[in-house]
Structure 1
Amino acid sequence: MKKLLTTWFASTLLLAAASVSPAMAADKEIAVIVKTANSDFWQNVKKGANDGVGGLKGYTASFQGAASDTDLAGQVALVENAVNRKVAAIVLAPSDPDALIPAMKKAWEAKIPVILIDSAASKSGESYYQSFLATDNEKAGELCAQALIAKVGTTGKIAIMSYTAGSGSEIGRVGGFRKYIEKHSKLQVVGPFYSNSQMGTALNQTTDVLAANADLKGIFGANEPTAIGMGRALVQAGKAGKVAAIGFDGNGDLQGFVKDGTIEAIAVQSAYQMGSLGVKTAVEVIQGKKVPKFRDTGVVMVTKKNIDSPEAKNVLY
């Protein structure tokens, strides 16, 4: 009797294992690791990743961000943890072009594909990632400069409110803005000032800039929290609609500023597309498919005139 029970118990365990092992085998994790989870922009990346992975049989997506854009050690730890738990792939928005390269190398050595989104790594890290999906930030910066010149002309004083010094997207975006201003106008530039993507810091910095430059004609807020802080400072100082403002990204606060005239235009990236296409590209690499080294996810200049258009609604969040 004891032998029969033992045989029955062993058979039951085998059947149970057989019934769950296919589901476990199918549960391949794609780790989406961004600069910080604390903004609507990155939450829209998360939404895109979740929706994108929903159509990929056998994969799930996890989502994590560092405590802040400047928490490089925290982001490195997230990547290393993903490597240690042997995820299927990593979709990464590096907060610094150099600091994440050693962790990316560890993923490469573990044969874990890395797809970069939003911000680039430096050239020394090119062999450790398979594709880079982002807005052409230099071109987007140029578009913002064009919009500001169209509003204020080619002479006078403008300010740049930036976010994290040295991040790949900031270098391209603010660099493209400045190059265009210098080439096509005689505008005097105040700044850039770095908010480290903290809305409150951007608000205080913009308040100080407005107080110290009564003759300021225009201002550029180079990412979501910075542009929100800039917009709120303009309102509080009574300068909304008087100092021409161009922002970047497209959450509800910034849409409100465009509609009420506080901000003339916002350059909106497709954060959703970065998340969705990021996980899909990762799976293509896993499947051995050839993917382009760079994929432009686009940018749309949104104004009061086109904010309700299908093109704008496809990127606003």
Structure 2
Amino acid sequence: MNKYSIAAASALLFAAFNTGAYAAGGEIAVIVKTVNSNYWQNVQKGANAAVADAKGYTLTFQGPASESAITDEVNMVVNAVNRRVAGIVLAPSDPDALVPAIKKAWEAHIPVVLIDSTISDSGKQYYQSFLSTDNEKAGEMCAKALIDRVGQSGKIAIMSYVPGAGSEVSRVGGFRKYIADHSKLQVVGPFYSQSQMATALNQTTDVLSANPDLKGVFGANEPTAIGVGRALKQSGKAGKLVAVGFDGNEDLQGFVRDGTVQAIAVQGSWQMGYKGIQTVVNVIERKPVAKQVDTGVVMVDKQNLDSKEAKNVLY
């Protein structure tokens, strides 16, 4: 049973703080890891759709220039608290650094809903709901897709993104454990791109050069997987080894279609934005919400790329 599913969530709860109730309406601040990514822009589209369906709410959408600009994201949360927003939907870039800012929101009776990545256990009391992909399971799915195509032995590389990010720890951890438990594949890496496509491209090019016997590679998020695909093309190795990526923008869809990347795990990013807004509105209006919600993942390859299921999550 999926650990983040509603069925497996502890109990529905009425998310109100120790004192006071919320006044319906007002600004909802959506703060994500970076605005410079199709993935987060798709989250914004879902959030915009949900606000349009809500009565009396407005939306602001912010994020740092890069996922590694953690201090910038912390400041955005603090600024949202200081201007007394009605609620915050947050994708935390670091599990520890955001805790004090989320605590400030809690102390100000401003509800916080987390999406995509969670925070450390010390901050769990300060947010009301967490919506995400089950990243550990998604990492396992990517590992299985790779094993199915490269076999039980040989060498593969892990191209990851921001070390310590909640989604990265679970996703790459699930991938590595499945590889260790179900194959004798040798793992090179992980290498960390800091979610910068150009960095991932250069790192992958170096890994391909240093490991001519490489049989497969895993690109663990959108900019990293794009960098992997471009490195394979530029090195003339597209289609000569197996690549599995994460997320589903037009670049990655093109790589699947032309055989550069064999499979991509695509998250429900639009759903995260839409349900994130719905959930924080429910908290504000004192309706029950689940503490944890799984927003799903779909494995997409050339065979199902044009299916309805894939089109529902590709962006």
TM (norm. structure 2) is 0.92
Partner of 2:116: 118
How many residue pairs match? The answer is 293
SS at match of 2:100: helix
Q: Any runs of at least 4 consecutive aligned residues in structure 1 with deviations exceeding 3 A, and if so which?
A: none
Q: Deviations over 1:203-237 (max 9, x none)?
A: 00000000000000000000000000000000011
Partner of 2:227: 229
Query: Residues of 1 paired with 2:57 and 2:101: CA distance?
Result: 23
Partner of 1:305: 303
Choose the corresponding residue for 2:86, options 85, 88, 102: 88
Choose the corresponding residue for 2:126, options 125, 128, 133: 128
- How far 1:26 moved relative to its partner? 7.7
Query: Residues of 1 paired with 2:235 and 2:167: CA distance?
Result: 29
2:182 paired with 1:184: yes
Equivalent AA in structure 1 for residue 207 of structure 2:
V
Choose the corresponding residue for 2:30, options 24, 29, 32: 32
- How far 1:66 moved relative to its partner? 1.1
SS at match of 1:190: strand
- How far 1:27 moved relative to its partner? 5.6
SS at match of 2:266: strand
Equivalent AA in structure 1 for residue 86 of structure 2:
A
2:207 paired with 1:209: yes
SS at match of 2:289: coil
Query: Relative contact order: is structure 1 or structure 2 higher (C-alpha 8 Å, sep ≥ 6)?
Result: 2
- Structure 2, unmatched stretches of 5+, are 1-22
Q: CA RMSD in A?
A: 0.9
Query: Residues of 2 paired with 1:56 and 1:278: CA distance?
Result: 12
Equivalent AA in structure 2 for residue 75 of structure 1:
E
Equivalent residues of 2:34, 2:66 under 8 A apart: yes
Query: Residues of 2 paired with 1:305 and 1:266: CA distance?
Result: 12
- How far 1:67 moved relative to its partner? 1.9
- How far 1:96 moved relative to its partner? 0.4
Query: Residues of 1 paired with 2:150 and 2:245: CA distance?
Result: 15
SS at match of 1:217: strand
Equivalent AA in structure 2 for residue 250 of structure 1:
G
Partner of 2:313: 315
Partner of 1:260: 258
Partner of 2:241: 243
Q: Higher helix proportion, which one?
A: 1
Choose the corresponding residue for 2:269, options 271, 279, 285: 271
Partner of 1:20: none
SS at match of 1:241: coil
Equivalent residues of 2:24, 2:285 under 8 A apart: no
Deviates more, 1:282-291 or 1:171-180: 282-291
Query: Residues of 1 paired with 2:24 and 2:116: CA distance?
Result: 29
- How far 1:289 moved relative to its partner? 1.2
| Superposition pairs of residues 39-188 of structure 1, within 5 angstroms | 39-188=37-186
Equivalent AA in structure 2 for residue 36 of structure 1:
T
Partner of 1:13: none
Equivalent residues of 2:47, 2:273 under 8 A apart: yes
Deviates more, 1:63-72 or 1:277-286: 63-72
SS at match of 2:33: strand
Shift in alpha-carbon separation, 1:66–1:302, aligned structure 2, 3 A: same
SS at match of 1:66: coil
SS at match of 2:270: helix
Equivalent AA in structure 2 for residue 123 of structure 1:
D
- How far 1:68 moved relative to its partner? 1.1
Query: Residues of 1 paired with 2:61 and 2:47: CA distance?
Result: 9
SS at match of 1:32: strand
Query: Residues of 2 paired with 1:196 and 1:152: CA distance?
Result: 27
Equivalent residues of 2:24, 2:284 under 8 A apart: no
